[in-house]
């Protein structure tokens, strides 16, 4: 059973046009807070990111924001969170979020969210971490992406064993339950510490 004392959430910095997704971002933050799980996120007060932070803060949760210096403007940065960490660039931001977290969740988002999700999946595939990675499929947002992943497996370009890294649920309660019970995959024998 994984402790999950902290979870990094990747999601959009815009509101989008789907009210259910917007509401579930808030509910995600609230759920993490009421279950004593620290929220680690991108540090913005805008969009779905802001809603996740608001949900956690409104329920007395601990919220750590990690934001690169070039994005740290009054219009963007959340000034009411528990802790704000400033990094030099986007890469350092992802490393810091990784270091602070015992699990990762992707909510709906755009290119940035997908980039964060796939990088953390790749790190897991290579054995660089053994933390659970979840996709919250709010209002079926990720159906097409999940179908694409299945196609990767069918075409022999993604190992079916690596698909086990991707935990998917339609509710935050079910997703966190799956993450608590996640068992890391075995790193291929041809990988050694020098290669990872």
- Tell me, yes or no, whether 193 lies in a domain: no
For residue range 128-167, list pLDDT tens digits in order: 999 999 999 999 999 999 999 999 999 999 999 999 999 9
What DSSP string runs through 117-146?
HHHHHHHHHTTS----EEEE-GGGTTHHHH
The range of the structural domain enclosing residue 143 comes to 6-180
Q: Give the domain CATH number at 15.
A: 3.40.50.450
- Tell me, yes or no, whether 188 lies in a domain: no
- Tell me, yes or no, whether 70 lies in a domain: yes
Give the pLDDT confidence score for residue 67 in this predicted structure: 95
- Tell me, yes or no, whether 185 lies in a domain: no
Token couple for 19: 């009210």
pTM for the whole structure = 0.93
Centroid of chain to Cα 27: 15
Judge whether 5 and 102 are in contact, CB under 8 Å: yes
Number of domains in the chain: 1
- Tell me, yes or no, whether 161 lies in a domain: yes
Give the pLDDT confidence score for residue 190 in this predicted structure: 47
Burial 2-41 (b: 16+ CB within 10 A, else e): bebebbbbbbbbeebeeeebbebbbbbbbbbbeeebbbbb
d(CA 82, CA 76): 16
- Tell me, yes or no, whether 90 lies in a domain: yes
d(CA 22, CA 153): 31
For residue range 81-109, list pLDDT tens digits in order: 999 999 999 999 999 999 999 999 999 99
- Tell me, yes or no, whether 101 lies in a domain: yes
- Tell me, yes or no, whether 92 lies in a domain: yes
């Amino acid at each position: 059973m994984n402790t999950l004392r902290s979870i990094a959430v990747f999601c959009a910095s815009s509101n989008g046009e789907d009210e259910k997704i917007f509401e579930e971002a808030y509910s995600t933050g609230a759920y993490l807070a009421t279950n004593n799980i620290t929220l680690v996120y991108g540090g913005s007060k805008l969009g779905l990111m802001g809603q996740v932070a608001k949900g956690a803060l409104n329920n007395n949760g601990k919220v750590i924001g990690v934001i690169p210096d070039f994005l740290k403007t009054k219009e963007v940065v959340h000034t009411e969170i528990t802790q704000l960490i400033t990094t030099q660039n986007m890469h350092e931001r992802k490393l810091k979020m990784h270091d602070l977290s015992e699990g990762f969740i992707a909510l709906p988002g755009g290119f940035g969210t997908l980039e964060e999700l796939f990088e953390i999946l790749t790190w897991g595939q290579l054995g660089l971490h053994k933390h659970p990675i979840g996709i919250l499929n709010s209002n079926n947002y990720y159906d097409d992406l999940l179908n694409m992943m299945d196609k990767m497996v069918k075409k022999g370009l993604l190992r079916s064993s690596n698909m086990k890294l991707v935990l998917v649920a339609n509710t935050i309660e079910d997703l966190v339950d799956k993450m608590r019970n996640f068992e890391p995959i075995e790193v291929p024998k041809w990988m050694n510490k020098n290669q990872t």
